[in-house]
């Protein structure tokens, strides 16, 4: 019988997950509010509010895996949007027996003094990091109680196609491709890990299907860290474009503007990621799943091509 998978979210990770699974002949259903067709071949689409546990359970019935690739984009709405969504996803996995595979991020760790790895405690102090840590803790508690099977993979800042304004490199890439000077957050010369969205999808699928990996978090294999300026320069080179002037946006600027702008206040909470090295240690994932990151040259080409599409 052909396995069926439900993917909640049609952003870059959800699309890559669906494409990987459908490409090997599995049945895939993407769930979004609109139900809009992504154009991916052999992939079904359903429109529903994924925070409706009953509706989501109905779609997930009989599925092998429920992939959480959702990403409420507005930080100011996270406290409202995430808890009911995560609760519905957990409930649907419990009711159907589907493996619950979660796309995570590094926010739960908060500021760090060295490379991030799964053995670090979730010690965030900002509300977004605390929230994401709590959502994982809730899913893990259900796993430990035997009510479901779950796993979370955590990735650093995304590169690759389809990221757009949600990526620190891709946000400035269109202007840089036109030869304009750009501004980037914090220090632009510090080592920072960037993760290709394709590698997020590859790791998420591998972790979901490896029963022995469940009940914990894993880091997505990523290329060696590069500074913001170097990463942007590399992507420009892949597009045959010259390097551009990169200006710094001081972290303090976001705190000042945040006095009158809720969104800038939310971004200010995260500027610690750009004022010190922000590096991932992914050796456990590489060893467990046999996954190496997509070569950096290819990552840069994919990112540049995606920006031009």
Domains of the chain: 4-157+194-222 (3.40.50.720)
Which residues pair with residue 66 across a beta bridge? 6, 100
Q: What is the pLDDT of residue 60?
A: 98
Please state, in angstroms and rounded to a whole number, the distance separating the CA atoms of residues 126 and 108. Answer: 9
Please state, in angstroms and rounded to a whole number, the distance separating the CA atoms of residues 197 and 201. Answer: 6
Record the tokens describing residue 188, joined without a space. 């632009």
CA distances from 185 to 182, 230, 269 (A): 10, 14, 12
Record the tokens describing residue 169, joined without a space. 């490199």
SS3 180: coil
Please state, in angstroms and rounded to a whole number, the distance separating the CA atoms of residues 268 and 252. Answer: 8
SS3 73: coil
Handedness of CA 204, 31, 301, 232 (dihedral sign): negative
Record the tokens describing residue 258, joined without a space. 């945040």
CA distances from 101 to 30, 62, 214 (A): 14, 16, 9
Q: Find out whether 167 and 157 touch, Cβ atoms under 8 Å.
A: yes
Q: What is the pLDDT of residue 259?
A: 79
Tell me the HSE value of 228 on the side-chain side, using a 13 A CA sphere: 28
Q: What is the pLDDT of residue 287?
A: 98
Identify the burial level of 39 via C-beta atoms within 10 angstroms of its C-beta, where 0-12 means exposed, 13-18 middle and 19 or more buried.
exposed
Record the tokens describing residue 28, joined without a space. 């895939």
Could you give phi then psi for residue 217, rounded to 5 degrees?
-100, 155
Give me the tens of pLDDT residue by residue for the chain, a chain 309 residues long: 899 999 999 999 999 999 999 999 999 999 999 999 999 999 999 999 999 999 999 999 999 999 999 988 789 999 999 999 999 999 999 999 999 999 999 999 999 999 999 999 999 999 999 999 999 999 999 999 999 999 999 999 999 999 998 899 999 999 999 999 999 999 999 999 999 999 999 999 999 999 999 999 999 999 999 999 999 999 999 999 999 999 999 988 888 887 778 888 888 899 999 999 999 999 999 999 999 999 999 999 999 998 866
State the pTM of this model: 0.96
Q: Find out whether 37 and 15 touch, Cβ atoms under 8 Å.
A: no
Please state, in angstroms and rounded to a whole number, the distance separating the CA atoms of residues 173 and 176. Answer: 5
Axis-axis angle for helices 53-60, 78-96 (nearest 10): 40
Please state, in angstroms and rounded to a whole number, the distance separating the CA atoms of residues 110 and 270. Answer: 9
Q: What is the pLDDT of residue 301?
A: 97
Tell me the HSE value of 237 on the side-chain side, using a 13 A CA sphere: 10
Record the tokens describing residue 11, joined without a space. 């952003």
Q: What is the pLDDT of residue 309?
A: 64
Element housing 224 (H / E): none
Q: What is the pLDDT of residue 260?
A: 79
Q: Find out whether 255 and 92 touch, Cβ atoms under 8 Å.
A: no
Instruction: Of 290, 134, 96, 108, give the one whose Cα is nearest residue 205.
Output: 290
Q: What is the pLDDT of residue 254?
A: 82
């Amino acid at each position: 019988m052909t396995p069926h998978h439900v993917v909640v979210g049609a952003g870059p990770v959800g699309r890559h997950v669906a494409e990987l699974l459908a490409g090997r002949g599995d049945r895939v259903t993407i769930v979004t509010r609109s139900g809009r067709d992504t154009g991916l071949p052999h992939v079904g689409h359903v429109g529903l509010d994924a925070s409706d546990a009953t509706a989501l359970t109905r779609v997930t019935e009989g599925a092998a895996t429920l992939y959480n690739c959702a990403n409420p984009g507005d930080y100011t709405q996270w406290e409202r949007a995430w808890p009911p969504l995560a609760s519905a996803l957990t409930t649907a996995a419990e009711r159907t027996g589907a493996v619950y595979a979660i796309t995570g991020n590094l926010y739960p760790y908060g500021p760090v003094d060295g490379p991030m790895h799964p053995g670090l405690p979730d010690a965030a102090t900002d509300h977004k990091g605390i929230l994401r840590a709590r959502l994982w803790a809730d899913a893990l508690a259900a796993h430990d109680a035997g009510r479901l099977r779950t796993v979370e993979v955590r990735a650093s800042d995304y590169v690759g196609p389809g990221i757009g304004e949600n990526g620190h490199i891709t946000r400035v890439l269109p202007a840089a491709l036109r030869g304009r000077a750009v501004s980037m957050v914090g220090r632009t010369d510090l080592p920072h890990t960037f993760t290709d969205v394709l590698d997020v999808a590859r790791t998420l699928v591998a972790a979901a299907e490896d029963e022995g990996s469940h009940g914990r978090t894993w880091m997505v294999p990523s290329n060696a860290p590069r500074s913001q300026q170097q990463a942007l320069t590399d992507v420009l080179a892949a597009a045959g474009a010259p390097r551009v002037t990169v200006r710094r946006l001081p972290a303090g600027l976001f705190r000042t503007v945040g006095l009158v702008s809720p969104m800038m206040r939310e971004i200010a909470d995260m500027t610690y990621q750009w004022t010190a090295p922000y590096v991932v240690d992914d050796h456990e994932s590489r060893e467990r799943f046999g996954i190496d990151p997509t070569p950096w040259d290819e990552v840069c080409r994919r990112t540049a091509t995606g920006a031009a599409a």
